[in-house]
Amino acid sequence: MAKATRKQALGRGLSALLNDPKEEVKSAQDKNADKIVGTIVELDIENIEVNPFQPRTSFNEDALKELASSIKELGVIQPITVRKLSRNQFQLVSGERRFRASKLVGLETIPAYVRIANDQESLEMALVENIQRQDLDPIEIALSYERLINEIELTQEALSERVGKNRSTIANYLRLLKLDPIVQTGMRDGFISMGHGRALVNIDDMQSQLEIYEKIIDQSLSVRQTEAIVREYKNPNDNKEKTAKPNLPSYARAAKNELSTYLDSKVSLRVNKSGKGQMIVPFKNQEDLDRILKLIKRG
């Protein structure tokens, strides 16, 4: 019943415009374009082709079946968007999940917003509209940004304005494309988060990147733990420098060496800026302690 109601929304006038070769609307300037563009019409699914510019490259089959079940019960609540190619022929701009799910349940028609655009405009519309979706993974978003920059020739500043995102956010997404393809796939499949990816992208050596990626998965490392591993990889001497003992004055260094030799034990000595110090004499067991005490008393 829901489908029949929407079918009436097309009306004889629009149906004639879409099918009449003499009154064919090819551009926004053509006669009657205002009657078609932006209007919700019920289109035959067989007259719609998928969008070659679709930024999404994978569709979750279970989620698609759930959507198909919902469409079977309630119909297509949110219309898809198409662009007019020729007489009664259309190309998908956005809404491919709804389009696929509708085909799954055998719908013959689907409600759609009709737009008129050339290939470049269609690409931009598809990419920008899809970027706004909440269910794109970080790599799909990054690829969409890259295509807008390369194929539409947008600068990062212009892209920032177009999609309503900070330039730094866009730059962070684009950097993810420097990750090893295996790591990118892991992010797309949900094994690691964008935070993990942003940490790993700081490692240029792909083999080392993959080794840390495997460690993240094997040990269920958090983003902070991953960042710490990356910092240690990038600056292996940092921790050594932080834990390095302060330089001893020459007199203390000489005393330390003399005591270590005399007591046959690795003596530790610390001296602060004021000249006060501390000496630590380690021992292995009680017998070793007694030995050291005898040497000290003897000395």
**One-letter identity of residue 37:** V
Compute the distance between CA of residue 266 and CA of residue 288 in angstroms, rounded to an integer.
13
Assign 269 to helix, strand or coil: strand
What is the 8-class DSSP label of residue 190? T
According to DSSP, the β-strands at 80-86 and 40-44 are: unpaired
H or E segment to which residue 82 belongs: strand 80-86
Distances (CA, A) of 128 to 115, 124, 131, 164, 196: 15, 6, 5, 10, 26
**Calpha distance 126→157 (Å, rounded):** 20
Q: How far apart are CA 94 and CA 113, in angstroms?
A: 10
Check residue 119 and give left, alpha or beta (phi > 0: left; psi -120 to 50: alpha). alpha
The SS3 of residue 95 is coil
Catalytic residue among 24, 46, 96, 241: 96
Q: Cβ(42)–Cβ(109) under 8 Å?
A: yes
Is 96 a known active-site residue? Answer: yes
Displacement of CA 94 from its chain's centroid (Å): 21
Q: Would you name the residues annotated as active-site residues?
A: 96
